[in-house]
Structure formats: structure tokens, C-alpha cells
Amino acid sequence: MVIGDLLLDQFIWGDVSRISPEAPVPVVWVKNEDFMPGGASNVASNLTKLGAEVMLVGIVGSDDRGEILKKQLIEKNIATDGIVTSEGRPTVQKTRIIAHNQQVVRIDRENTDHIAGVDLAKVVDYIKRNIRHVDGIIIEDYGKGLVTPALLKKIIPLAKRHGKLIAVDPKESNFSCYKGINVITPNHHEAAKAVGFSLESDEALEKAGEKLLRKLKSEVVLITLGERGMIIFEKGKSYHKIPTVAQEVFDVSGAGDTVIAVYTLSVISGASAPMAAHIANYAAGIVVGKVGIAVVEKGDLLKGLRREAGRRAR
């Protein structure tokens, strides 16, 4: 079950050949545009591509953008019965204008007010009715209003009572509400804000990881470090630093979605935390080499892991 902020990502692709005479900005000649599920729905897309069955829980507006997003999800064989349609808020949309494989500008349409009332009740009710049917829960917090202290106070104890693995891709504003989860996957900026100091050195990273383990009473803290790879901390064990495997980085959009999806699915499938982190790191290395919100294909991931295993064996 993936619970989180649902985003519709729009990509407008084109070329730039001149600067506007009206202002010092590029003129983009549009050649193509498309939509992709983003946010928590991108986590669901990654999981589905790797063979998992996914229950997606979130909220959209009663608008054309919401209908486009649900249609996209249905085409990807992701069930939409856990998606609540709200009359009082718009569907979140990010529009990225890209020219020559470079992002020129991003336009956001959103309402980040916390969900409450009937909308919150519908989300909680769906989770209660379906939680016994899943192996684990991913909470994908993009700070768009769904993942709130009120929601977390209800679903984290519920998941623990049912013995479900709980993984969180966080926003720093809610760190105090994530206590008791199994794994959290902040990037280094989010982790630094949560602990209150810079993470430029290995010593600082180690201190931050231990602090987050204690603060959240979590089993695992996995901090993603961009081009430096990632570092994983387990309660009572030495940390593991995992170097990036990305050959070229074109777009980091959605890389965190891939990390938490692949890590969680790997653990549920029997991998140890360090092994799951290595697999997730490799998957992230694949998606950042693509432009746009990309998902990792099972064949590409297996091929890459086999190649990496062969190099290590030599």
C-alpha cells in the first residue's frame, strides 16, 4: 500500500533557438508534451513495473487534471479505488518545460492545506479496510497536504498493530510524527534539517544517522547523498556507505521514489537491509540517466545487478 501525495507531472518538450525580445528569457518552440504520474503515484508505478500489486491511497481534485492522472494510473494497471476525489482542492500538477535535455522552468499548481474532515475520514477508512491485505506500507510525503500529523497518528499505530513494514520518504516538517516506523529514506538536505547540522563529512553523517535512529526509534535510516550514493544505518550495527553507480545524470526527478519503492519491495521479498539498499541504489542510478519522471524496468535492473556481481567476482 502506497499512501501519499499524488501529483500529475506534465512535460513540455521543445527547442530553444533565440531569446525573447520581450524579456531576457529563452523562447521554447514546443515539439511535444505528455503527462506522467508523479509523487506517490510514481512510487506505485515503480512497484508495478517490478511485479508488485499496489494499493494506491491519495487525493485528487474534481478536475480534468485528476481525471488525466487516474486514467494514467489505470493504463499502468494501478487500482484507483483508494483515491479520494475532493471537491475543495485542485489536483497537484507540476509542469516542466524542457529544451535540449535541460529543464528551463517548472510551473506548480497546488493547494498544500492539510486534508481534514470528510476527505481525511475517507482516506483513513480505506486504509483500515484494506491494511490486512498488504505486506507493507510506503508513506510518500511530498508536503502537499495529505501526509499530516493527524493522518500519521492514525495509520502508523494501525500498521504496527497489523505487523506491517512501514517505510517513509519524508518531509522534514513531519519528522517528529514518524516515530516507530521501520525505515526512513531522507535525502541529505532533509536529514540535515532534521538533525540541525550540516552533513558534509563522514563523521557528521554517522552522527546524523545515529541521532535519527534514536529519535525515530526506527530500525533503519537510509540517507540518499545524490552523486555520492547513499548511506544506511541499522540499529546496533555499523553503517554501510554505498557509492553511486550512475554513469550519467540527466534528471534526478523521481529518484527518491525509485529508492523507497525498490528498497521496500526488496525487503518484503527477503533481502537484508544492506542488500536492499544496494539494489535500490542501482535502480536509482538507472533512472537518473533518463530525462523526465522515469521508472526502473525489471530487465534493466536485473541486467545491471548481474553485471555488477560479475565485476565484484573478478
Name the residues annotated as catalytic: 257
Residues comprising the chain, all counted: 314
Q: Residue 230 pairs with which residues in a beta bridge?
A: 224, 242
Helix H or strand E encompassing 18: strand 6-19
User: Within a 10 A sphere around the Cβ of 31, how many other Cβ atoms?
Assistant: 10
Question: If we measure between CA atoms, which residue out of 48, 38, 37 comes closest to residue 73?
Answer: 37
State how far the Cα of 136 lies from the Cα of 112, in Å rounded to an integer: 26
Which of these, 176, 174, 162, 241, lies nearest to 203 by C-alpha position?
241
Match 525489471 to its residue by C-alpha cell.
Answer: 298
For 46, other C-beta atoms within 10 Å of its C-beta total 25
